């Protein structure tokens, strides 16, 4: 398996992998593939990496800019992250995470936020930070990792693409 940047011919395979990954997930509205497409179409897909095995895309991670109400700069949101069900539990998601975070550091990002399971994301350095709030979400599920500077204070907003339904 290898991790690489998304290429122009990968969009259909990314969409298929994303649909498969979230098909039986508990906390989803099944719009993840639409979110990725909307981020790409709006030029907001800062990092888009695929996991490829035997010339087949088995996973994908998207990273896009977020806005923090205190005007903190250089912050990004990680997600959606998708791994085909038959490849879950094999470290594919972990490798996608590590590569995405390394790419953000290379880009000079200040930090990254993620909405997800604390037990999973904490192993990559994410922690619930009371100073950063995503309205309507339990605080322990909204986590951040700081790369540079100090942790900002404020409400976080994702791009409008996260409202995509089709």
Q: What is the CATH number of the domain that holds 21?
A: 3.40.630.30
**Is the confidence at residue 27, as pLDDT, over 80?**
no
**Span 56-73, pLDDT tens digits:** 999 999 999 999 999 999
What per-residue confidence (pLDDT) applies to 25?
A: 78
116 close to 142: Cβ distance less than 8 angstroms? no
- Residue 76: per-residue pLDDT: 98
Q: How many CA atoms lie within 13 A of 131 on its CB side?
A: 11
Predicted pLDDT of residue 24: 82
Q: What is the mean pLDDT of residues 95-114?
A: 98
With beta carbons less than 8 A apart as the criterion, state whether 28 and 53 touch. no
Q: Answer yes or no: is pLDDT of 14 > 80.
A: yes
How many structural domains does the chain have? Answer: 1
Q: What distance in Å separates the CA atoms of residue 79 and residue 100, rounded to the nearest whole number?
A: 10
Backbone angles phi, psi at 141, to 5 degrees: -95, -10
What's the CA gap between 45 and 76, in Å, rounded?
A: 10
What pLDDT score was predicted for residue 132? 97
**DSSP per residue, 43-58:** T--SEEEEEEETTEEE
Pick from 154, 147, 136, 80: nearest CA to 112: 147
Q: Are 138 and 128 in contact (CB under 8 A)?
A: no
What was the pLDDT predicted at 30?
81
Average pLDDT in the chain: 95
**pLDDT of 48 over the 80 cut:** yes
Confidence of residue 121 (pLDDT cuts 50, 70, 90): very high
Range of the domain at 144: 2-163
């Amino acid at each position: 398996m290898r991790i690489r940047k998304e290429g122009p011919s990968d969009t259909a395979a990314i969409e298929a992998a994303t649909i498969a990954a979230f098909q039986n997930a508990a906390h989803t509205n099944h719009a993840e593939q639409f979110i990725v497409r909307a981020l790409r179409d709006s030029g907001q897909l800062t990092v888009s990496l695929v996991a490829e095995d035997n010339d087949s895309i088995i996973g994908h991670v998207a990273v896009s800019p977020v806005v923090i109400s205190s005007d903190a700069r250089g912050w990004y949101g990680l997600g959606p992250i998708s791994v085909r069900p038959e490849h879950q539990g094999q470290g594919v998601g972990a490798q996608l995470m590590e590569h995405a975070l390394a790419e953000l550091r290379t880009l000079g990002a200040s930090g990254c936020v993620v909405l997800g399971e604390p037990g999973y994301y904490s192993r990559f350095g994410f922690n619930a930070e009371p100073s950063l709030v995503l309205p309507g979400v339990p605080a322990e599920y909204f986590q951040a990792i700081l790369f540079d500077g100090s942790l900002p204070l404020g409400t976080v907003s994702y791009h409008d693409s996260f409202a995509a339904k089709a």
